[in-house]
Amino acid sequence: MTAVDESNAGIVAGRSDALLRVENVQKYFPINGGGLLKRKVGDVKAVESISFDIIPGETLGVVGESGCGKSTAGRTVMKLLDPTGGKIEFEGRDITNLTRKEMVPLRREMQMIFQDPYSSLNPRHTVGAIISAPFKVQGVKPARGVQAEVQDLMARVGLNPEHFNRYPNEFSGGQRQRIGIARAIALRPKLIVCDEPVSALDVSIQAQVVNLLEDLQDEFRLAYIFIAHDLSVVRHISDRIAVMYLGRIMELADSERIYKAPLHPYTHALTSAVPLPDPRAERKRERILLHGDLPSPINPPSGCVFRTRCPKAQDLCAQEIPVLRELAPGHFGACHFPEERHLI
């Protein structure tokens, strides 16, 4: 890790009531060469350095294109993957180096919802067994019995409680996602990491699930880390949004500001690329087209990782890594030349 990233700490210093605090978290995957010794020949730098915090009841959206490290980031802060650097705090407790076993009690507090409602549910288990698994694992015995509790959960997420004994293949994609949600909220966690929870669903079903997530958040004061590539959905559900590119956070701000006053050229290009469902607005809109492809995370560009595709890049951008700093109140950006008219 380079020393430059240290000032990232400023981004999380402000909020004392943080539920989760992530500081310079890094996740590298080693690449091993061929041959007998399988020597390490390099690293896939999936997450180079990310810092953010999240308070109870808040939704932090994480957006970025495929390969930007958003899913790895989600899994790492959940400790499903072990970070190779940085610090993760949950309710003030350092959990960075906890073992799998030590994490078990904490799993009550933090849960995950996955993208693919087909592969994230065991096809040989009944819905009842799937949703009651958290109770079993955690040794929780609800007063009214597990089945009654599970049926309540099913009703709460909009499933028919009588379908308790059915198998996942008897449900549609949207219903399966509801099963995954019921399982995630079973033990009333404080934080749920949602990794592309609605991308596999049809629009009309997607809206049902988004509304359900919003209702559950209000009811249980859940905090969500909502990871998705669809900016419209993220903007709709999030209070704040972190924009990631090649393993780093480029910008983090209120979702309103990310859309209306982006400071980072990448955010600007990204939001301008999203087509609006409004033909008249579309005819008037100007797009910033980015050229080229995402660089390899094995060998990222020097300096600013975005510089190879940035329309504003200058010499400084190749030499110095821009630090994620507070450019306007509550608005963080990692750019040497942020959009000046938005710097208020």
Partner 1 sequence: MSDPFLSVSDLRVQFPTEDGVVSAVDGVDFAVEKNKTLAIVGESGSGKSVTSQAIMGLLNRKTAKVTGEVRLDGEELLTARPEQVRSLRGKRMSMIFQDPLSSLHPFYSIGKQLVEAIDVHQNVSSSAAMTQARDMLDRVGIPNPERRLKDYPHNLSGGMRQRVMIAMALLNSPELLIADEPTTALDVTVQAQIIELLRDLQKEFNTAIILITHDLGVVADMADDVVVMYGGRVVEKGGIDDIYYRPEMPYTWGLLGSVPRMDAGHSTRLEPIPGQPPSLIRLPKGCVFRPRCAYHELVPGDRCDVERPDLLPVSPEHAVRCHLEPAQRQEIANERFGLTSVDTGVTERREDA
Residues forming contacts to partner 1 in the complex (CB under 8 A) are 65-66, 172, 174-175, 202-208, 210-211, 214, 229, 231-233, 235-239, 255-256, 259, 269-283, 287, 289-294
The phi, psi pair for 59, rounded to 5°, reads -115, 120
The conformation of residue 125, written as its DSSP 8-state character, comes to: S
Rounded Cα–Cα distance for residues 70 and 96 (Å): 18
Q: Shortest gap between Cβ of 180 and partner 1 (angstroms)? A: 17
Q: Rounding to the nearest 10 degrees, give the CA dihedral for residues 257, 330, 198, 278.
A: 0
- Report, in Å, the least distance between residue 279 CB and partner 1: 4
The CB-of-210 to partner 1 minimum distance in angstroms stands at 6
The Cα 276–Cα 258 span in angstroms is: 16
- Indicate the residue among 121 and 186 with the shorter CB distance to partner 1: 121
**CB closer to partner 1, 153 vs 201:** 201
CB of 33 to partner 1, least distance (A): 20
Dist. CA 190–CA 178, nearest whole Å: 18
For partner 1, the closer of residues 93 and 291 by Cβ is 291
Residue type for position 230? D
Residue 151 or 175: the one with the smaller Cβ distance to partner 1 is: 175
From residue 178, give the alpha-carbon distance in Å to each of 21, 191, 210, 223, 241: 28, 17, 11, 18, 24
For the bound state, the minimum distance from the C-beta of residue 178 to partner 1, rounded and expressed in Å, comes to: 12
DSSP string, 43-99: EEEEEEEEEEEE-TT-EEEEE--TTSSHHHHHHHHTTSS--SEEEEEETTEE-TT--
CB of 268 to partner 1, least distance (A): 11
Query: Measured from the CB of residue 270, what is the shortest distance to partner 1 in angstroms?
Result: 6
CA neighbours within 13 Å on the CB side: how many for 21? 18
The label of the residue with tokens 């060998």 reads 299
Decide: 112 and 106 in contact? Cβ < 8 Å: no
Determine the distance from the C-alpha atom of residue 32 to the mean position of all C-alpha atoms in its chain, rounded to a whole number.
28
Q: How far apart are CA 267 and CA 61, in angstroms?
A: 13
- Nearer to partner 1 among residue 88 and residue 253 (C-beta): 253
Question: Tell me, what DSSP letter sits at residue 157?
Answer: T
Q: Which residues partner with 195 through β-bridges?
A: 227
Query: Do 306 and 266 contact (CB within 8 A), yes or no?
Result: yes
For partner 1, the closer of residues 45 and 79 by Cβ is 45
Closest by CA position to 135, among listed 124, 121, 145, 120: 145
In the complex, least distance from residue 172 CB atom to partner 1, rounded to whole angstroms: 6
Which residue's CB is nearer to partner 1, number 234 or number 324? 234
Say if CB 71 and CB 228 are below 8 A apart. no
Closer of 123 and 279 to partner 1 (Cβ): 279
Pick 82 or 293: Cβ nearer partner 1:
293
Q: How far is the CB of 23 from partner 1 (least distance, A)?
A: 27
